[in-house]
Amino acid sequence: MTKIVVHTEAAPGPVGGAPYAQGIIARGLLFTAGQVGFDADGRLEGDITTQTHRVFDNLAAILAQGGSGLDQVVKSTVFMSDLGQFGAMNAVYAERMPQPFPARSTFQVAALPAGALVEIEVVALA
């Protein structure tokens, strides 16, 4: 099996130089690393709505670099530091993720990198 690394300067690189790729293509699928709402300069600002939009910007950039797009996502996993903000995150998700919506799991976690409010990873057709 061949693995192809996907990397774009249009999305943040690994946090603190951690050993992971933004994305990997294998067996016709593109797997993204979890994305938080960092901007291109590594800043994390704003409320859940702002951060979720930025997450989708980052995911879209990685998917595009890999020859895919949000319309090709088949599975997403959402991690939130507070499920009390689910409604606001879900509104952005519904706006940014094309239909038919992919399968999805959502979890509340104790903490996310840099105090992020939301992190999303996806699997898409490559």
pLDDT of 42: 84
Order of strands, sheet of 103-108, starting from the edge strand that comes earlier in the sequence: 4-6, 23-26, 29-32, 118-125, 73-80, 103-108
pLDDT of 90: 98
Hey, what domains does the chain have and what are their CATH numbers? 4-14+22-125 (3.30.1330.40)
Q: What is the pLDDT of residues 45-77, one digit of tens each?
A: 999 999 999 999 999 999 999 999 999 999 999
Q: What is the pLDDT of residues 74-117, one digit of tens each?
A: 999 999 999 999 999 999 999 999 999 999 999 999 999 999 99
- pLDDT band with cut points at 50, 70 and 90 for residue 25: very high
- pLDDT band with cut points at 50, 70 and 90 for residue 39: confident
Tell me the sheet residues that pair with 21. Answer: none
Q: Are 53 and 96 in contact (CB under 8 A)?
A: yes
pTM to 2 decimals? 0.97
pLDDT of 6: 98
